[in-house]
Copies of this chain bind each other. A is one copy, B any other.
Amino acid sequence: MDQRLHFITLATADLEAARSFYRDGLSWEPLLDVPKEIIFFQVGPGLVLGLYDANAFTADLLLPGTAQPCGFTLSHNVDSPTLVDETVTSLLRAGGNLIKKPQFAAFGGYHGHVADPNGIIWEIAHNPAWSIDETGAVLLGE
Contacts and interface: CB of A to CB of B under 8 A. Distances in A.
Given A34-B142, A46-B138, A140-B48, A87 B1 contact: yes
Contact of A5 (B6, B67, B76, B91): B76
Interface residues of A, number: 64
> How many chain copies?
2
A82 interface: no
A72 B69 contact: yes
A11 B72 CA distance: 6
Interface of A: 1-11, 26, 28-29, 31-32, 34, 40-49, 54, 57, 60-63, 67-77, 87, 90-91, 99-100, 105-106, 113, 121, 123-125, 130, 132, 135-138, 140, 142
